[in-house]
Amino acid sequence: MRESHYIDIDEEIISAVSRLRQSGQTENVFIFPKRALILQSIVNLRLLEREARKLGKQIIVVSQDEIGKKLAERAGLRIEAYQDQNFQEQTAVGNSRFVVEPGADPMPLPEVSIRPKEQPRSTDIGSDDFFAATQSRKQTNASTRPLVRPEVSGRIQEIAPNPPRENQPQPLRVRNASPAPLTSLNSLRGDVRPPRSKFASVDQMPQSVTTAPRGPALPMPVVTRPSMPIQTEQGQLEKEAARARLSRFMGGAGNVPTPLTQSSKEVYRGSHPLSTSPRSHAGWLTLIPLGIFIVLLIAGGWYILFPKANIILKPQTAEQIVRFQITGLTETTTNTDSIPVRMLSLEKTVRVSEIATSETSGTEATKARGRIRISNTFSSTPQPLVATTRFETKEGKVYRLVDSLVVPGTKEQDGKSLPGVVEAVVVADQSGADYNLGSATFTIPGFKGSAKYEKFSAEIVQAFTGGSAPGGTTGKKVVGQTDIEKARKKALDEARSHALEEAKRLLQTDEILIDESLELVEKSGTSTPLLGASAEQFDYEARFEAKVFALNPKSINERIEKERVQMESVTLVPVDYTTQYVSLLPKYESGRIDMTVENTVRFQAPLDGAKLKSTLLGLNEEGMKDFLKDHPEVERLQVEFQPQLFISTIPSDEARVTVTIE
């Protein structure tokens, strides 16, 4: 069985493919009008042929477009000539639902009050006298058909059956084979004849029916055809509808209005005449998609025929920790186990503030504390003083030395003898507020009766505070031992930070500072608050001497770069490393530092990218596997193709291949 598909002039290839897929028949007849859009492109026809081949179906092309049929033949499609009788019989058989066997009594048909439409003739399709032939045929039929019932006043035309036609194929006549392009869709080409009306003349139009009473209906003559099945009214209507669609599609004449005749009526009904210019841009518009497709096809072919490849090579790598002992000397030496270092020395004074957190209980008496400066004018010999040494004022108030110390002797400067001086902290011998003093001079009662009594003296440099009697004020803030220790640690950290910053500014070119070798020594002259002094906040001032070593890491780096690691048959060399100096033992008095150099080294196999690139040109997947076997220094090989589809071989052109080493 065949299935027919009527294709419109502007129908797209996607719609035709969809029809083919939905068809349930093996043979599919596609009927195209002249200048159908699908027939104008060989690409569309080849796509249709390929889809039919995939679905296992056969396509038959029927059209009056000679150029389109030639393109269809080139695309591998089967061509058949248009035969109206064949399609009519196929449609009639397909629409018949009731069959009367030969010899059966004929079944009377119901009265039909409608006028059947004439079937289009293939002889009228495309003929030059299309409109004239139609009108003459109408006039002939109109003169022989009218029948009037005697019971009805007025004239009612009765439908006469169409004369039977021979079941023979009619020759297909081409309407107009001129190549003039269409000016618009379904428009006339240069047809300037006056529009034809639906009826040939006014006399042929059906007369109006009067309102006289209608008599009994006359029985319709029974038409029997032994060789053909009897059709019901519904079957006849379906047959007429199928023929009308075929007539409209093929541009046939008859009583069925076609888009061609409708278009002509609309044109002549207006005030402007139909343009007869044969020029049109439809052909150029059809070529635009084809041109775009060709450009894309050329670009895609170039992209596929000339691919590119980016080769990423990852060499063999390993990471190890390398340690060795080394000695830094400030003096020049030729020892291979030592390197030259430089010792930096500087002094830094810092002053910090701290809040007192200790409080008095008020139940115990407290003793006043203060700072004094002791002077020695007796001799150049230093004089040691033990803790609890007494210092007495003129009023007889006694204060005792908190820590042991040594009073420096006198010294000569510019011919003058200068006394030796030292500062110390003393505490009152008894509690009470009377021992809180702002200024006073002291003697040492222990030297009384000797020449030293007059030569050793002291004076207040920091007021004595904190003395109170029992039952005094409670909750009073005083400086405690923890407060002093906190202030000392804060001053030490600040001195370390400042010393490193200043030492880095003293570095020479390519030198680095060994931060861990920094040493801080607190010098005399530190101003510390008195323990138990009454204060909400106090200042701690200290002076430090800082010493640190600096070196040039060039010699250490040269030693690291000489390290090698053997992995299978590949020798790895250092490419990156980090260095730390641990286990430091600085000796500033001798200008020496012993240390351990700890290095985290990443080793890597050396690769020659240019040499490996020439080896990889033109290799396929198997060749790449063999390449990895022959080059153990390469851990991984990755190739990125452009485009990524249908390509698995590295191009042989060196200009289209790049090599990247991770």
Residue 17's CATH number = 3.30.750
Whether residue 517 is contained in a domain is answered as: no
Whether residue 539 is contained in a domain is answered as: no
Q: Enumerate the β-bridge partners of residue 405.
A: 385
> Residue 237's closest CA among 113, 54, 51, 72?
113
Return the amino acid letter for 381.
Answer: T
The rounded distance, in Å, linking the Cα atoms of 600 and 574 is 10
**What pLDDT was estimated at residue 247?**
66
Whether residue 160 is contained in a domain is answered as: yes
**What pLDDT was estimated at residue 83?**
65
**What pLDDT was estimated at residue 445?**
94
Last residue of some domain: 207, 242, 272? 272
Whether the CB-CB separation of 609 and 662 falls below 8 Å is answered with no
**Do both 144 and 215 map to the same domain?**
yes
The rounded distance, in Å, linking the Cα atoms of 576 and 144 is 112
Last residue of some domain: 442, 470, 498? 470
**Do both 267 and 121 map to the same domain?**
yes
Whether the CB-CB separation of 310 and 637 falls below 8 Å is answered with no
**Do both 130 and 266 map to the same domain?**
yes
Whether residue 171 is contained in a domain is answered as: yes
**Do both 21 and 151 map to the same domain?**
no
Give me 7's structure tokens. Answer: 């294709």
Residues 391-413: b if buried by 16+ CB within 10 A, e if exposed: bbbeeebebebbeebebbebeee
Rg (CA), the chain: 61
**What pLDDT was estimated at residue 60?**
93
Q: Is 130 helix (H, G, I), strand (E, B) or coil?
A: helix
Q: Is 108 helix (H, G, I), strand (E, B) or coil?
A: coil
**Do both 6 and 44 map to the same domain?**
yes
Last residue of some domain: 437, 454, 470? 470
How many structural domains are present in the chain?
3
Return the amino acid letter for 490.
Answer: K
**Do both 263 and 130 map to the same domain?**
yes
Number of residues assigned to the chain: 662
The rounded distance, in Å, linking the Cα atoms of 94 and 109 is 20
Whether residue 301 is contained in a domain is answered as: no
**Do both 132 and 257 map to the same domain?**
yes
Q: Enumerate the β-bridge partners of residue 314.
A: 636
Give me 381's structure tokens. Answer: 């010999």
**What pLDDT was estimated at residue 84?**
53
Q: What is the pTM of this model?
A: 0.44
Q: How many CB atoms within 10 Å of residue 7?
A: 23
Characterise 646 by phi-psi region: left (phi > 0), alpha (psi -120 to 50), beta (else).
Answer: left
Q: What is the DSSP string of 453-485?
A: HHHEEEEEEEEEE--B-TT--SS-EE--HHHHH
Return the amino acid letter for 11.
Answer: E
Whether the CB-CB separation of 122 and 172 falls below 8 Å is answered with yes
Task: Count how many Cα atoms sit within 13 Å of the Cα of residue 397 in the half-sphere of its side chain.
Answer: 21
The rounded distance, in Å, linking the Cα atoms of 426 and 387 is 9
Q: How many CB atoms within 10 Å of residue 491?
A: 24
Q: pLDDT tens-digit profile of 420-441? A: 999 898 999 998 888 999 999 9
DSSP-derived secondary structure letter, 25: S
How far, in Å, are 5, 9, 362 from residue 471 at the CA level?
A: 122, 120, 5
**What pLDDT was estimated at residue 281?**
59
Distance in Å from the first CA to the final CA of the chain: 67
> Residue 418's closest CA among 364, 376, 366?
376
**What pLDDT was estimated at residue 375?**
95
Q: Is 296 helix (H, G, I), strand (E, B) or coil?
A: helix
**What pLDDT was estimated at residue 296?**
79
**What pLDDT was estimated at residue 235?**
64
Give me 478's structure tokens. Answer: 């005083």
Q: Is residue 423 packed enough to be buried (19+ CB in 10 Å), middle (13-18) or exposed (0-12)?
A: middle
DSSP-derived secondary structure letter, 516: G
The rounded distance, in Å, linking the Cα atoms of 397 and 430 is 9
Q: Is 65 helix (H, G, I), strand (E, B) or coil?
A: coil
Give me 143's structure tokens. Answer: 């003169």
Residue 32's domain comprises 2-93
**Do both 396 and 431 map to the same domain?**
yes
Q: Is 646 helix (H, G, I), strand (E, B) or coil?
A: coil
**Do both 262 and 119 map to the same domain?**
yes
Q: How many CB atoms within 10 Å of residue 455?
A: 17
Give me 250's structure tokens. Answer: 């093929």
**Do both 263 and 156 map to the same domain?**
yes
Angle at 356 between CA 353 and CA 361, to 5 degrees: 170
Whether residue 16 is contained in a domain is answered as: yes
**Do both 46 and 121 map to the same domain?**
no
**Do both 121 and 88 map to the same domain?**
no
Q: Enumerate the β-bridge partners of residue 591.
A: none
The per-type count for the chain, helices as H runs and strands as E runs, is 13, 27
Q: Enumerate the β-bridge partners of residue 313.
A: 637, 661
Whether residue 252 is contained in a domain is answered as: yes
Whether residue 217 is contained in a domain is answered as: yes
**What pLDDT was estimated at residue 14?**
92
Stretches where the chain sits below pLDDT 70 are 82-235, 247-283, 299-305, 361-364, 471-475, 525-526, 645-646
Q: How many CB atoms within 10 Å of residue 269?
A: 8
